[in-house]
Structure 1
Amino acid sequence: MRTAYRVETVRAAEAELMARLPEGTLMQRAAAGLAAACCSLLGKGQVYGARVVLLVGSGDNGGDALYAGARLARRGAGVTAVLLGERAHEGGLAALRRAGGRVTGPHDDPYGALAAADLVLDGITGIGGRGGLRPDAVPVARAARGSDAVVVAVDLPSGVDADTGEVAGEALRADATITFGTYKPGLLVDPAREYAGALRLVDIGLGATLPSVPDLEALQHEDVARRLPVPGAESDKYRRGVVGIVAGSARYPGAAVLAVSGALRGGAGAVRYVGPAGDAVIAAHPETLVHSGPPEQAGRVQAWVAGPGLGEGPGVSVALDQVLATDVPVLIDADGLRALTPAAVRARSAPTLLTPHAGEAAALLGVPREQVESARLAAVRELAARYGATVLLKGSTTLVCAPDLATPIRVNPTGTSWLATAGSGDVLSGLSGALLASGLPPLDALSVAAYLHGLAARRASGGGAPIAASDVAEGLPGAWRDVVG
């Protein structure tokens, strides 16, 4: 599992470790890993004679860049340090000069060196930076990004917020980020994630000093495989779990079909569909148990999914009230979210799960959509706390947050931009409901569903082709096999 920690936690872990090590050890470890990563990015045999520019701020981040630059200079690279802070790390400057590196003065022109660079190291701000780049650093950062050089961020792209993933001003977009000790939340969450490029973690020995519970975590194949339901020899369709789906309308029958598609491929033993799109559902999936309604008369289920394609008629509130009155987990999506109140969710004894996209989340919180998109971690935490629900916030970075805010937020690492297509959320809802019905806890059900959903979309896209929501549903068995295989 990939884990991330806030800056305050990282600094405390570093201080504890530094107290037991000779002075400068952590910086040298970071610089060694950074230099090795730069060598690999330049390519074997391409370090000698390579032109490297260091953008150096006044903090330890600049020191890491200077020491790494000294290592590259000793291997034959031509290294130029552009000093952007009021002061630079003295030891790093001395090391670079001893290795034959060049240091620009405050009145030197850095743009010629940037135009000719093969690789640029961004050591301007690092994890302590807030509020975007300072005005004097902006033209240099733009020149670096406008060059043909590979831009490598030192620990974190300058100008992004390490804790929140927010980008409040101008930031330097990297092709790769070499981060030290542990991932930081901003590296995994948009919009900052888009500035980080390819991620590489350098171990500097922090593992023993970091808390056992991170701030963020991202599942990987083996984590998902451990959580997937596996039928036993004595299993039948009821023991495997029955999921009820309240979805679709005369206007949107496809939403019901897609939600059922996701549920049937999500490990449930049976799917009970309730709603007016029964004919469409049966035509597509004859194994579905169809009931015209109301939900309370449809039969026993282990979880409910309500909302996709329901429209805005008076029956929406009635159906929603009936599923919320049950004692099983309930997932509310799409049109069901419009009829929801915090009081209705908090009154339940069984778990409730909400799966909004940014626009729906903004409506639930009463804020502009742009605020949700720019501060996704804050938005998902606020939704989970206000509603007492487990919340999956869809988008370029899908986040899953439990109502207990001491539990790490899950960030989904799979997916593709081609998932931004009508109906893909309906498939995700059905898949999540099936995993709930099979017995997975809400946090696991949503994060495993998001992982498989994103993986199926990647498979269907085949590396970059457009896909439809039905392609994602059809790709779920293959994604499941990839994970368990």
Structure 2
Amino acid sequence: MRRAHTVSQVRDAEADLMRTLPEGTLMQRAASGLAHAVLDLLGGGYGHRVLLLVGSGDNGGDALYAGCALLRRGARVEALLLGSNHHEEGLVALRAAGGGVVDDVADAHRPDVVVDGIVGIGGRGGLRPAAVAALDAVAGVPVVAVDVPSGVGVDTGELEGPHVVADLTVTFGTHKVAHLVGPAAGACGVVHLVELGLDLPTAAVEALQAADVAALVPRPAPDDHKYSRGVVGVRAGSDTYPGAALLCVAGAGSGLVGMVRYVGSAADQVRASHPEVVGDGRVQAWVVGPGGGDEAEVQLAAALADGVPVLVDADGLAHVRPGQAAVLTPHAGELARMLGIDRETVEARPLAHARLAAERYDAVLLLKGRHTLVVAPDGRTRVTTTGLPWLATAGAGDVLSGLIGALLAAGLAPWDAASVGSWLHGAAATLASGGGPLVAGDVAAALPAVVRSLR
């Protein structure tokens, strides 16, 4: 599990650890990890030029001490001081090791890499003009951020103004929320974690990894039969959108349950493409809404009458009420309509609005996006980090809904079903894509291979 903690959680854990260590030990550990990451990026130190952008606080100190280590490896290191109250011991050490201090980027040699030590994890509200000007002056040079890209909302994943866009972020002790949650996650580049040995509480946000998914994916026991493995029902599609029914059934019928039932106006097309799918009957979960159009309200009412967990997507979301559904799976535009706000507001603050909707609707809320969020009504949050941009294709959400519905029918709790389904969906897209274009049906076809690959 990849876990992300808040600023206050990290600071408390650091304070506890520092009471057991000699003064300055944690900063030296962080600086050493930062220096090694920069050396890996450069392919060595000798002859390379490094510019440190140094602000106030401990991140600036980390950058300065990392500069000392880079100097010992043959790099040429210069520091531009931004703000006030710089880490004096680190600055003295840098100068003693042969590093230089410049008053302006124009006074520095053109660097091979820039180290962003401008603002630490306690920073708020974007960057000041001097920092923005310095970054503009080195545009095009790779940037390594210390802990988080300066200027991003560390605990929220929001972008509150001008900010660093890093190629590599070197973080310490644990991931922070901004490393996983968009839109800030998009500014982090590759994230490298340097362990510090912190004793941390329950994470604010987490991301499943392959081993976690392998432990959660339902697998048939030797004495299972098609009914005991779970039966999922699909009420999707319409005369206008029969393809949504086909794709939703394809996701549901990826082999994770013993049977798929379909009820709807696209029954003939579904049977022609999926002869193993049967008609109405008892189920352990329903999927409602994809392509439902004018039929979605009736589809939802029929599913709710069975008293089993219901996943609601797409057209069904306009009709669902608080407490009715187990899982809701909107994209940003649909969530905006559910909350009575505009899409841009949701996209600027996805975590806050996903948590608001999960609480308001008393359901697990899956907000689709570059880093899909899965939020429980009590605020527990998982982020999906599998997938790739090619997954933004028509019908992919229909496949996802069917897949999550199957996991619900197989017995997973709604939060696990949604987060496991989202992870598998992203992994299947990556496998099917091979780095190139794909369509939604390719994702469904790749799901069994992804499950087989899990150990």
TM > 0.5 fold call: yes
Residue matched to 1:473: 444
Residue matched to 2:200: 210
Any idea what the Cα deviations from partners look like across 1:90-132, whole Å, max 9, x if unmatched?
011011011100012xxx3313526x11111000002111111
SS of residue in 2 equivalent to 1:121 = strand
Q: 1:191–1:374: 8 Å Cα contact kept in structure 2?
A: yes
Residue matched to 2:264: 275
Residue matched to 2:35: 35
> Which amino acid in the other structure matches residue 124 of structure 1?
I
Residue matched to 1:308: 290
SS of residue in 1 equivalent to 2:404 = helix
Question: Paired residue for 1:180, among 157, 172, 179?
Answer: 172
Residue matched to 2:96: 98
> How well do the aligned residues superpose, as a CA RMSD in angstroms?
1.2
Question: Paired residue for 2:215, among 226, 238, 257?
Answer: 226
SS of residue in 2 equivalent to 1:392 = strand
Residue matched to 1:50: 48
SS of residue in 2 equivalent to 1:85 = coil
Alpha-carbon deviation of 1:16? 1.1
Any idea what the Cα deviations from partners look like across 1:413-443, whole Å, max 9, x if unmatched?
1011111111000000000000110001111
TM-score, with normalisation over the residues of structure 1?
0.92
Q: 2:363–2:377: 8 Å Cα contact kept in structure 1?
A: yes
Structure 1 distance, partners of 2:420, 2:326, is 17
Alpha-carbon deviation of 1:17? 1.1
Q: 1:266–1:435: 8 Å Cα contact kept in structure 2?
A: no
> Which amino acid in the other structure matches residue 310 of structure 1?
G
Question: Paired residue for 1:198, among 190, 193, 202?
Answer: 190
Question: Paired residue for 1:356, among 323, 330, 334?
Answer: 330
Any idea what the Cα deviations from partners look like across 1:57-94, whole Å, max 9, x if unmatched?
01111010000001111221110000011121001101
Structure 2 distance, partners of 1:371, 1:266, is 38
Residue matched to 1:323: 303
Q: 2:236–2:299: 8 Å Cα contact kept in structure 1?
A: no
How high is the sequence identity, in percent, across the aligned residues? 59
Detail structure 1 runs of 4+ shifted over 4 Å in the superposition. none
Alpha-carbon deviation of 1:10? 0.7
Residue matched to 2:348: 374
SS of residue in 2 equivalent to 1:81 = strand
> Which amino acid in the other structure matches residue 278 of structure 2?
L
Q: 2:80–2:104: 8 Å Cα contact kept in structure 1?
A: no
Question: Paired residue for 2:129, among 135, 141, 151?
Answer: 135
Q: 1:353–1:390: 8 Å Cα contact kept in structure 2?
A: yes
Q: 2:400–2:422: 8 Å Cα contact kept in structure 1?
A: yes
Residue matched to 1:438: 410
Structure 1 distance, partners of 2:66, 2:407, is 47
Q: 1:266–1:432: 8 Å Cα contact kept in structure 2?
A: no
Counterparts in 2 of 1:62-211, with a 5 A limit?
A: 62-104=60-102, 108-113=103-108, 116-144=110-138, 146-147=139-140, 149-206=141-198, 209-211=199-201
SS of residue in 2 equivalent to 1:440 = coil
Alpha-carbon deviation of 1:479? 1.3
Structure 2 distance, partners of 1:325, 1:59, is 59
Alpha-carbon deviation of 1:266? 4.7
TM-score, with normalisation over the residues of structure 2?
0.98
SS of residue in 2 equivalent to 1:272 = strand
Structure 2 distance, partners of 1:153, 1:376, is 23
How has the CA–CA distance of structure 1 residues 92 and 266 changed in structure 2, closer, same or farther, with 3 Å as cutoff? farther
SS of residue in 1 equivalent to 2:108 = helix
Question: Paired residue for 2:373, among 399, 407, 418?
Answer: 399
How has the CA–CA distance of structure 1 residues 266 and 445 changed in structure 2, closer, same or farther, with 3 Å as cutoff? farther
Alpha-carbon deviation of 1:233? 1.5
Any idea what the Cα deviations from partners look like across 1:295-326, whole Å, max 9, x if unmatched?
xxx21100010000000x2x432221222233
Q: Does 1:299 align with 2:281?
A: yes
Q: Which runs of 5+ in 1 are unaligned?
A: 291-297
SS of residue in 1 equivalent to 2:145 = strand
Q: Does 1:335 align with 2:309?
A: no
Q: 1:61–1:123: 8 Å Cα contact kept in structure 2?
A: yes
Q: 2:285–2:405: 8 Å Cα contact kept in structure 1?
A: yes
Residue matched to 1:22: 22
Alpha-carbon deviation of 1:328? 1.1
Any idea what the Cα deviations from partners look like across 1:302-356, whole Å, max 9, x if unmatched?
0010000000x2x4322212222332111000000011222xxx2x5xx611000
Q: 1:266–1:431: 8 Å Cα contact kept in structure 2?
A: no
Structure 2 distance, partners of 1:323, 1:126, is 50
SS of residue in 2 equivalent to 1:53 = strand
Structure 1 distance, partners of 2:82, 2:429, is 43
Residue matched to 2:224: 235
Any idea what the Cα deviations from partners look like across 1:168-217, whole Å, max 9, x if unmatched?
111111110000000001011111111100110001121xx211x21111
SS of residue in 1 equivalent to 2:276 = coil
How many residue pairs are counted as aligned between the two chains?
455
Q: Which runs of 5+ in 2 are unaligned?
A: none
> Which amino acid in the other structure matches residue 10 of structure 2?
V
Alpha-carbon deviation of 1:482? 2.0
> Which amino acid in the other structure matches residue 310 of structure 2?
V
SS of residue in 2 equivalent to 1:289 = coil
> Which amino acid in the other structure matches residue 37 of structure 1?
A
Structure 2 distance, partners of 1:5, 1:143, is 33
Q: 2:3–2:207: 8 Å Cα contact kept in structure 1?
A: yes
